[in-house]
């Protein structure tokens, strides 16, 4: 009996390790497994956390040992909440502070609005069945030329030189600028869809998203840049947590459901639909509709 138990223990451990290795290979696992990654002295400090006497004012923050620092953006940090800790971080020459606060949040009340399906895409970042269309800023694509130039200039500078340091900074700023555009769009888009400002009978009761295999899609060489530029995974993460906060259910529809190929009016499924076909034409009932709008209707119906 004892030996069997031991064997089972071993097996569980082994399978756990195999799972970790698999996850690591996919790039999803960020744990302790593998070779150590040493910190580079050439890069920024990353971040550090401070605890103790932290006071937030309307235009500044008082941190232990650092004193009172002016804030570039006003009104973002809560001045009345109880602050537990502050994290200072640096990104491409800009310094940020985020605070962890403790506050009591009332339980979310279930929203009672309509069911909304959201189709994620490249042409339009998101198309919702309630008519909301969010344009894709294509942050990376529109800056690719600049990025290539900055990157080239950087690589041509002699290693260890002042010029190289300068070029590094310039390149980092450009990368951060692109990331900021993406971040800004995603936050605005997900907040608009979740509609925090509207009353609970207007807010959607259920938001339906497609359960996309983003990691798999990124392996498609001709589409990976465009897909990575949108930030599908981050969109999904934001919708999930923002919806949960205010009592909206989030449902996922299997990626194998033919949400694009089905006619939202008569439910006939088309055999083939090319990615370039932006307008959906139903061969059964003759419906002519925007491809993404059609998909969003189908997603809402599948809930």
Residue 269 interacts with Zn ion (CB under 5 A)? no
Residue 69 interacts with Zn ion (CB under 5 A)? no
| Residue 299: CA count within 13 A, CB half-sphere | 31
Confirm if 213 and 28 have CB atoms less than 8 A apart.
no
**H or E stretch including 206?**
strand 206-210
Q: Which residues contact 187 (CB under 8 A, 6 or more apart)?
A: 238
Chain-centroid distance of CA 204 in Å reads: 21
Task: Tell me the CA distances in angstroms from 132 to 117, 185, 193, 277, 301, one per residue in order.
Answer: 10, 14, 8, 21, 17
Q: How far apart are CA 273 and CA 281, in angstroms?
A: 10
Q: How far is the CB of 267 from Zn ion (least distance, A)?
A: 7
Which one, 72 or 267, has the nearer CB to Zn ion?
267
Binding window for Zn ion (CB under 5 A); candidates: 39-47, 84-92, 111-119, 284-292? 284-292
* Tokens read off for 219: 């392996």
Binding residue for Zn ion (CB under 5 A) from 16, 84, 109, 285?
Answer: 285
| Residue 250: CA count within 13 A, CB half-sphere | 19
Active site residue 210: yes
Q: How far is the CB of 193 from Zn ion (least distance, A)?
A: 27
Residue 263 interacts with Zn ion (CB under 5 A)? yes
Binding window for Zn ion (CB under 5 A); candidates: 27-35, 74-82, 129-137, 286-294? 286-294
Binding residue for Zn ion (CB under 5 A) from 86, 99, 124, 282?
Answer: 282
Binding residue for Zn ion (CB under 5 A) from 14, 84, 215, 266?
Answer: 266
Which one, 238 or 262, has the nearer CB to Zn ion?
262
Confirm if 111 and 205 have CB atoms less than 8 A apart.
yes
Q: How far is the CB of 131 from Zn ion (least distance, A)?
A: 20
Could you give the residue numbers annotated as active site? 119, 210, 292
Q: Interface residues with Zn ion (CB under 5 A)?
A: 263, 265-266, 268, 282, 284-285, 287
């Amino acid at each position: 009996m004892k030996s069997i138990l031991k064997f089972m223990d071993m097996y569980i451990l082994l399978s756990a390790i195999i799972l970790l290795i698999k996850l690591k290979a996919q790039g999803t696992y960020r744990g302790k497994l593998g070779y150590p990654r040493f910190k580079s002295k050439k890069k920024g400090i990353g971040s550090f956390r401070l605890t103790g006497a932290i006071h937030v004012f309307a235009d500044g923050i008082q941190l232990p040992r650092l004193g009172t620092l002016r804030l570039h953006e006003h009104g973002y940090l809560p001045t009345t909440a109880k602050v537990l800790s502050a994290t200072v971080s640096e990104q491409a020459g800009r310094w940020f502070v985020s605070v962890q606060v403790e506050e009591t949040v009332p339980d979310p009340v279930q929203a009672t609005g309509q069911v909304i399906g959201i189709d994620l895409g490249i042409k339009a970042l998101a198309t919702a069945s309630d008519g909301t269309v969010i344009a894709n800023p294509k942050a990376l694509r529109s800056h690719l030329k600049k990025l290539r130039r900055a990157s080239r200039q950087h690589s041509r500078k002699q290693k260890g030189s002042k010029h190289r340091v300068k070029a590094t900074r310039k390149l980092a700023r450009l990368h951060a600028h692109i990331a900021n555009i993406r971040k800004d769009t995603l936050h605005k888009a997900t907040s608009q869809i979740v509609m925090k400002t509207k009353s609970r009978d207007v807010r959607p009761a259920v938001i339906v998203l497609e359960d996309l295999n983003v990691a798999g899609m990124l392996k498609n060489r001709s589409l990976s840049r465009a897909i990575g530029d949108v930030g599908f995974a981050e969109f999904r993460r934001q919708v999930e947590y923002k919806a949960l906060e205010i009592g909206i259910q989030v449902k996922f529809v299997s990626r194998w459901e033919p949400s694009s190929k089905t006619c939202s009016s008569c439910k006939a499924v088309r055999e083939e639909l090319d990615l370039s076909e932006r307008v959906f034409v139903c061969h059964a009932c003759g419906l002519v509709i925007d491809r993404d709008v059609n998909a969003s209707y189908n997603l809402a119906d599948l809930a």
